[in-house]
Amino acid sequence: MKEKIIEILNNEELYEIGFAKIEYFKDIENKLILQKRKKHNTPFQIGKIDDKTFKKENIFKSAIVVLMPYYKNIKIIEENYAYVAACFNCPDYHITLRNKLLNVYNFLKSSGYLAKICIDNNELDERYLAYKAGLGFYGLNHLLINDKYGSFFFIGIILTDAIFDYNIPLKKTCYKCKKCLKYCPNKAIKLNGEFNGNKCISFITQKKDITLKEEKLINQCIFGCDVCANICPHNTRIKEYSYKETVKIDVINYSHLSNKEFKKLYGKYSFSWRGRNIFERNINIYKQKLEKKL
């Protein structure tokens, strides 16, 4: 059955696949409690700690975890243009990856098993499940690093009550070069292992209300942030995979869009879920910075 699932996923061009046993993940409980106590979690991180650790008995026994790579596209050279982080340059991964997982979902259901597809907007700690499935190891930047894709990938999960021969976590660490700590624009990363999501530029570019101090942090990448990924040595030699498109906005000549125009231009990208107002706010902030230079 495991071999059949791998075959189905390979036919969808998904090649990094792992199987993790669902059990009480006690080893991350204290970390999650500390994050919550220090208010390091962003509002985008939904779900209770018990949901993330599977502390309570549940109907699922296994997690089938897959990685889908995306084009890293880290060369930003045209100052008059604004860009989005690499993960937003492809059609909405929630839809693309879900469609790639549907055949396994249907196979499990037709075989008499429960199945649930989870991609990003759920209560799970998806990176931790990918780690448990042997698909990567953690960097100091809190990103999961895969030997093949670096940290440029999306995670898809199918929860099921089927039982498999499980993978084991990798016994590896990152190089600990500390570049991510040094170059993080808002010092969200700490050497002691803490990560403050509310200080991460990626979150700041996506939230509705920002302070004047936070405005100063918004730069040419107007949605998301790739700084710690771009300078990570684990990402220097990875192959540039998948959909090769770059969303770039002519900041100087940018015109206000209606909601209909915004949806037509950018509706296929996952960043469009935050809407036109935040997108244009960030463009205007960067535009003001450019105009001061002129």
- Which pLDDT tens digit goes with each residue over 54-78? 998 889 999 999 999 998 765 667 8
Model pLDDT for residues 192-228, shown as the tens digit of each residue: 888 999 999 999 999 999 999 999 999 999 999 999 9
Q: Please state, in angstroms and rounded to a whole number, the distance separating the CA atoms of residues 90 and 3.
A: 30
Q: What is the pLDDT of residue 55?
A: 93
In a domain, residue 195? The reply is yes
In a domain, residue 165? The reply is no
In a domain, residue 171? The reply is no
Whether residues 39 and 122 fall in one domain? yes
Model pLDDT for residues 162-179, shown as the tens digit of each residue: 999 999 999 999 999 999
Whether residues 136 and 201 fall in one domain? no
pLDDT band of 243, cuts 50, 70, 90: low
Q: Please state, in angstroms and rounded to a whole number, the distance separating the CA atoms of residues 224 and 237.
A: 22
Compute the C-alpha angle 206/66/267, nearest 5°. Answer: 35
In a domain, residue 173? The reply is no
Whether residues 110 and 25 fall in one domain? yes
Whether residues 185 and 113 fall in one domain? no
Q: Which carries the bigger pLDDT value, residue 243 or residue 257?
A: 257
Whether residues 10 and 139 fall in one domain? yes
Whether residues 28 and 142 fall in one domain? yes
- pLDDT score of 116 more than 90: yes
In a domain, residue 57? The reply is yes
Q: Please state, in angstroms and rounded to a whole number, the distance separating the CA atoms of residues 67 and 116.
A: 17
Whether residues 267 and 200 fall in one domain? yes
In a domain, residue 167? The reply is no
Model pLDDT for residues 221-231, shown as the tens digit of each residue: 999 999 999 99
Domain that holds residue 251: 179-293
Q: Please state, in angstroms and rounded to a whole number, the distance separating the CA atoms of residues 149 and 240.
A: 9
In a domain, residue 170? The reply is no
Whether residues 129 and 215 fall in one domain? no
Whether residues 229 and 279 fall in one domain? yes
In the chain, the number of structural domains is: 2
Among 93, 50, 54, 52, CA closest to 71:
93
- pLDDT score of 241 more than 80: no
At 164, give phi and psi (nearest 5°): -130, 175
